[in-house]
Amino acid sequence: MEQILFSNSLNKLRLKQLIIKFITSLSIFALTVYFTPNFNIASFPILILSSFTIILLDYLMSIITGIHDLPLGRGLVGFTSAAIIIYITQFFVEGYYINITSSLIAAAIYGIINSFLVNKV
């Protein structure tokens, strides 16, 4: 019985952390779009969908590669993977356009803003 209660509270904690990460990422991503040249998102719903897609792709990449578990993963490798994820998202979300150079700028802006936030999910 105690294990079931622990499992339920752990699932609620993970869901809460995921919601906080989504809201934080959505806010950071909105700022990133504003400050990045050649980065266009057609509407607010597209911004929400692209933020969700980026979180999902980042999560899948961290599961598959384990990049974010390594100290180097939060540095150059993390920056590179963020740029790739931001660029690839345009192929999954219609109304989202970014070129390669702008994805590097967006990854830098996203990483700088995100580094100031406590984000332990």
User: Which residues, including other chains, have CB under 8 Å from residue 41's CB and lie 6 or more apart?
Assistant: 33, 47, 50, 95, 96, 97
Q: Does 63 map to a domain?
A: yes
Residue 85 forms part of a structural domain: yes
Q: Within a domain: residue 120?
A: no
Range of the domain at 90: 2-115
59 lies in a domain? yes
Domain count, the chain: 1
The confidence band for 73, taking pLDDT boundaries of 50, 70 and 90, is low
**Any domain includes 121:** no
Claim: this prediction has a pTM higher than 0.75:
no
The confidence score (pLDDT) of residue 5 equals 47
In-domain check, residue 34: yes
